[in-house]
Structure 1
Amino acid sequence: MVSTLIKTYKNFINGEWKNATTEHVEASINPADKFDIIGYVQKSSIVDLEQATYSAKEAHKQWKKLSAPVRGEYLYKVASQLEKNADDIAEVMTREMGKTLSEAKGETLRGVAILRYFAGEGMRSIGDVIPSTDNEALMFTTRVPIGVVGVITPWNFPVAIPLWKIAPALVYGNTVVFKPAQETAVTATKVIQCFEEAGLPKGVINMVTGSGAIIGQGIVEHPYINGITFTGSDEVGKLVGEGALARGAKYQLEMGGKNPVIVAEDADLDLAVEATISGGLRSTGQKCTATSRVLVHSGIYDEFKQKLLNKIKELKVGNGLNSDTWMGPCASENQLNSVLSFIQKGIQEGAKILHGGKQCDAEELRNGFFVEPTVFDNVKSNMKIAQEEIFGPVLALIKVDSLEDALDIANDVKYGLSASIFTTNISNILSFINEVDAGLLRINSESAGVELQAPFGGMKLSSSHSREQGQAAKEFFTAIKTIFIKR
């Protein structure tokens, strides 16, 4: 039964907040306390998506005619609104997704920086003058928007990921139909309110909530949508790519990771331990760049393992709103069950649990989806916990006898998103850079970490071989025109 005292959040279509054409809603639940309902989210129909795509198509006719600096000025205004509302948005994010309040605040402020960065991109060059073989001709290139862009995003970064897609889409002259993850749709609504408060023209940005099977698939198949940018699982990403390809739409996929950290024999162990814990367990391991496999040289394996366990035992698991909490809950009951299932698979395959491995049973955590930080020993590269993305606070320790072994194991997965190494040896560093198949490499730093001004994306099944963020973003959100003018 839907409580009339709890708000139902609406779609944003053509500059207005609208009820869906269906009466179906679902509760957005606090993963730290399943009895705390943040709000109700509409399960929209294809009719609602049709309204949004038509609005975006019509708005594009005028939006693309604005100069890029003018479009950038709108993004500066959105950034100011987001910054003004940062505390409220961060608190909603923590209640809705579970990450700690400090992480949520950091992500929101990162969203502010993303908006300002891409607002500035409106002042940058978008073309080149190219010498022509005809000395009486001028030849040059420019870039034009691709049209209406469908934005499909996950729940783990409900502010940063949508904004690093929406901001470049808009500044380069596209309009947007945005489908957020249902689990964090209230947070998404708070972000879209900032666009509304900034006064963007009607229809330039639209948001429709609902299931992936209806709204997500509808975006993939809709003839008005010229490009789709997706972040999520590789299984769904493949379907998005296939659907877009079938009708000739442009698509961009950012998907899973099974990210290794290599700890060489000469590593600073304290630094490596801190980075392994931060990279693997912050945000409850629910980052696509999170450390999952820890490849440690046999000569320092036992010392590293003991230092790691000593530090992990000090971590405080709890409600992300509490100031002393280091790690919050899994984002949903489904995610909790998935993580626990992977832990059981690890046990069945012969890996040994050194720490954790269970759902938290402390009385104050029983109403939430909390799992203990988990460390496995005796892990082999062919085990499921060393091959599949867990998306939870689970570290798999793998002993290696050489850097060559570590590099081979690092590459022995279907993903290639991020990787890191801890070493003081320049030869090790160069081998790592040259040999590891990943799009983001970090030396003496954790695997999780993306800077907004740098290209981001993966290799193998981690992406569609495109890159997001930084100036690389314009490659997806624009098309090149070559112009030849004869005197």
Structure 2
Amino acid sequence: MEKMFINGKWLHSVNRETRDITNPANGEVITNVADGSEEDVKLAINAARSAFDKGEWTETSARSRADLLYKVADKLTNRVEEFAKLETLNNGKPYREAEYDIQDAINQLQYFAGLATKPKGQTFDVPEDMQSMVVREPVGVVGQIIPWNYPLVMAVQKIAPAIAAGCTIVIKPAEHTPLTLIKLFEIFDESGFPPGVVNLVLGPGATVGAELVRNPKVDKVAFTGGTETGIRIMKSAAETIKKVGLELGGKSPNIVFADADFETAVDHALYAIFSNQGQVCSAGSRLLLEKSIYDKFVPELVRRAQKIKVGPGLMEGTEMGPLISENHMNRVLNYIDIGKNEGATLLCGGYKLEDEELSRGYFIAPTIFTDTTPEMRIVQEEIFGPVLVIQTFETEEEAITLANGTKYGLAGAVFTADGSKALRVIRKLRAGITWINTYHNTYNEAPWSGYKQSGIGRELGTYGFEEYLETKQINISIRPKPSHWFGNETS
């Protein structure tokens, strides 16, 4: 049974409850883990608070913090295959994607280790015998809540900058996918972090996550997940005026003009929606096609979608794996029914795969709808599965209007051979992450998050590092003397 890591120790939950963790490819139980409660997260928060306020972490130099992150990166580098297999087993994604995620996590650890010694202060020339300056300090105790679609890499992209900045953390993985983060904490345990600096609490969002958000001893909450949950977190955090970082949902447009390279645009349209089973906040789930290429583009898109090899993530040749759980699979299937009832035309997919080797898992065939209109729910709402909706346009202005026509603003792409047109359109997209003639390529050096209801704050890059730092003004009198503000007499 896998335990939690609190104040430098591996602990069972206070209530001794456990949770089964299953393989989404076949529904079988992999292991069971401690299922925490409010009492457990309070213990972890108290440990993190003590470590930040008065433990040895307060005296740890930026160079030492960097060395710890490099040590973790080195240890993880030696275990890539082990972690990738475990990620695939727990999450279901194809092994090649899991392996990429682990490598990306290593890169993040190294990148933020390099930033640990780089916070910049300022000094100011002021019109008195004073020296005024700004220094950067860690935010404090940070609560971090991780989604199930990228269990390890999204944990690391929160952990690494927080540690580099000098914060202490309490992190909660998604209930379905804690296994690689538990393994990572074994590496933290081996690497010499002082007690209370890194804490792992397992359990439901409704109890463990809620306490992490509302507890007044937590200075900042970083969350990745659905917009509705993000709204609840923001309301709860307001009670204690916490800093909040929210990376939320998306319904991202992928705009293809008639002059785009055909093969490139088709290839990326598939990759944009069907990688990671469509369980990606930035997925290109809305394909906006210039009407003149519809009759050529759509048949090829459907032909290739039907050839995607769906299967268990550890099976050789698998290109798309199962959805995370039976409940989520049923949610996606319900959206497919909604699309049919709304009058959209189903071109392919739309059903659970029932082949003998897949019947016990949570597999949905790659699904494409056309004849959609902007007000349809399948166009407006995040489905978070392998479901693509196609819209058409005739002018740049119409494409931009359609692209910006949802409450979300996470990502978007433009495919065209006209560089000026690409920049005109991309500049008008209300989205935080954009691409021209490609999709999904992102880098740890660049910021990640969205506009509108897709989030607040930024992760990754120097922008993500800044989210874990406070700015303090310090004013020093060069020639100390009485102010005489209230006169010269003394009594």
TM-score for the superposition, normalised by structure 1: 0.96
Q: Is the 8 A contact 1:270 1:307 kept in 2?
A: no
CA distance, structure 1, for counterparts of residue 188 and residue 74 of structure 2: 10
Equivalent position amino acid for 1:479 in 2: E
**Could you tell me which of 73, 79, 88 is aligned with 1:85?**
79
Please say if 1:42 is aligned against 2:34: yes
What is aligned with 2:450?
458
Q: Could you give the per-residue CA deviations for residues 398-424 of structure 1, whole angstroms, max 9, x where no partner exists? A: 111112111101000000000001001
Whole-angstrom CA distance in 1 between matches of 2:95 and 2:45: 35
Query: Counterparts of 1:213 and 1:117 in 2: how far apart (Å)?
Result: 33
Q: Which residue of 2 aligns with 1:65?
A: 59
Which amino acid is 1:181 matched to? Answer: A
Structure 2 counterpart of 1:481, one-letter code: K
Q: Which residue of 2 aligns with 1:216?
A: 209
Distance 2:22 2:425 in 1: 42
Contact 1:353 1:376 in 2 (8 A): yes
- Give the alignment of 1:146-165 within 5 angstroms: 146-165=139-158
Q: Matches of 1:453 and 1:442 in 2, distance apart?
A: 16
Partner of 1:412: 405
Larger deviation, residues 95-104 vs 61-70: 61-70
- Map 1:72-471 onto structure 2 (within 5 A): 72-134=66-128, 136-446=129-439, 448-464=440-456, 466-471=457-462
Q: Deviations over 1:262-321 (max 9, x none)?
A: 001111111011111111101100111111000000111111112211211221000000
Distance 1:410 1:331 in 2: 28
* 1:300 aligned counterpart, secondary structure: helix
Report deviation, 1:426: 2.5
Distance 2:466 2:118 in 1: 14
The 2-side partners of 1:192 and 1:157 are apart by 17
Task: Give the distance between the partners of 1:153 and 1:377, measured in 2 at CA.
Answer: 33
SS at match of 2:236: helix
Residues 264, 422 of structure 1: 8 Å contact kept = yes
- The structure 1 segments of at least 4 consecutive aligned residues displaced by more than 6 Å after TM superposition are none
- Secondary structure of 2:401 counterpart: helix
8 Å contact kept, 1:78–1:195: yes
User: Secondary structure at 2:41's aligned position in 1?
Assistant: helix
Q: Is the 8 A contact 2:404 2:429 kept in 1?
A: yes
Show the counterpart of 1:4.
Answer: none
Question: Which residue of structure 1 lines up, in the alignment, with residue 486 of structure 2?
Answer: none
Indicate yes or no: 2:35 matched with 1:10: no
* 1:193 counterpart SS class: helix
Question: Which residue is equivalent to 1:482?
Answer: 473
Is the contact made by 2:414 and 2:426 (CA closer than 8 Å) also made in structure 1?
A: no
After superposition, the Cα gap between the structure-2 partners of 1:177 and 1:125, relative to the gap in structure 1 and judged at 3 Å, is closer
Alignment RMSD: 1.1
Percent identical: 38
Equivalent in 8, 12, 19 of residue 19 of structure 1: 12
SS of 2:287's partner is strand
Deviations for 1:31-68, whole angstroms, at most 9, x for unmatched residues? 00112x12112221211111111111111133132121
Give, in whole Å, the separation in 1 of the partners of 2:51 and 2:41: 15
Gap regions ≥5 residues in structure 2 = 479-491
2:485 corresponds to which residue?
A: none
Q: Structure 1 CA distance, aligned partners of 2:82 and 2:179?
A: 12
- Taking the aligned partners of 2:396 and 2:263, their CA distance within structure 1 comes to 20
> Rg bigger for which structure?
2
Question: More deviation in 60-69 or 99-108?
Answer: 60-69
Q: Is the 8 A contact 1:289 1:449 kept in 2?
A: no
Measure how far apart 1:86 and its partner are: 1.4
Q: State the SS of the aligned residue for 2:285.
A: strand
- Residue 105 of structure 1 aligns with an amino acid whose one-letter code is E
Give 1:389 deviation, angstroms.
Answer: 0.4
Q: Give, as a single letter, the amino acid of the residue that structure 1 aligns with 2:253.
A: P
Amino acid corresponding to residue 485 of structure 1 in structure 2: I
CA distance in 2, matches of 1:383, 1:202: 52
Q: CA deviation at 1:185?
A: 0.9
Aligned mates of 1:361, 1:217 — CA distance in 2: 38
How far, CA to CA, are the matches of 1:424 and 1:400 in structure 2?
Answer: 17
Q: State the secondary structure of the residue aligned to 2:137.
A: strand
Separation in 2 of the partners of 1:46 and 1:327? 37
Q: Residue 177 of structure 2: SS of its match in structure 1?
A: helix
Q: CA deviation at 1:427?
A: 2.9
Question: How far, CA to CA, are the matches of 1:236 and 1:81 in structure 2?
Answer: 34
CA drift of 1:126 comes to: 2.4
Residues 39 and 186 of structure 1 are in contact (CA less than 8 Å); yes or no, is this contact kept in structure 2? no
Alpha-carbon spacing, 1:233–1:161, altered in 2? closer, same or farther (3 Å):
same
- Code of the aligned partner of 1:460: K
Q: In structure 2, what is the equivalent of residue 5 of structure 1?
A: none
- Secondary structure of the structure 2 residue equivalent to 1:395: strand
CA distance in 2, matches of 1:54, 1:420: 44
Query: Would you say how many aligned residue pairs link Structure 1 and Structure 2?
Result: 476
Cα shift at 1:133: 2.4
Contact 2:413 2:426 (8 Å CA) reproduced: no
Amino acid across the alignment from 1:69: R
Q: Using the alignment, how far apart are the partners of 1:190 and 1:15 within structure 2?
A: 15
Distance 1:312 1:249 in 2: 45
Deviations 1:449-473 (A, max 9, x none): 3311101110000002x11110002
Residue pair 1:111, 1:163 contacting (<8 A) in 2 also: yes
Amino acid at match of 2:70: Y
How far is 1:197 from its partner?
1.7
